[in-house]
Amino acid sequence: MYAVIKTGGKQYKVAAGEKIKVEQIAADVGQEIVIDQVLAVGSGAELKVGTPLVAGATVKATVLSQGRHDKVRIFKMRRRKHYQKRQGHRQNYTELQISSVNV
């Protein structure tokens, strides 16, 4: 059984036992969270799509870690204008272990 969830403005296809990295969630390591924004639930050829959410469906997950992704380097330049700008960015993430998909 799998589900399509929405968290942090993005959508993820998850199944029980998977590990995913999502946008940072305010939760402690080891804490169990419940995600109730479930857009679709499927099992084999059967698919239940919500309008926009599936009523009563939840996904339980455990927070494994909080961290930061690798650095993304931003470099802007205007040729012949003596303009160069360097910048870096590291996005925060929360790693989740999906424990169950409930309908």
Q: pLDDT value at position 103? A: 84
Question: Taking the model in full, what pTM does it have?
Answer: 0.84
Count, in order, helices (H) and strands (E) of the chain.
0, 10
Q: pLDDT value at position 31? A: 96
Burial of 95 per CB tally in 10 Å (0-12, 13-18, 19+)? middle
Q: pLDDT value at position 8? A: 93
**What is the pLDDT tens value at each position of the chain, 103 positions in all?**
999 999 999 999 999 999 999 999 999 999 999 999 999 999 989 999 999 999 999 999 999 999 999 999 999 999 999 999 999 999 999 999 999 999 8
- Core vs surface per residue 42-62: b (16+ CB within 10 A) or e: beeeeeeeeeeebeebbbbbe
- Classify residue 4 by its DSSP letter: E
Q: How many CB atoms lie within 10 A of CB 63?
A: 17
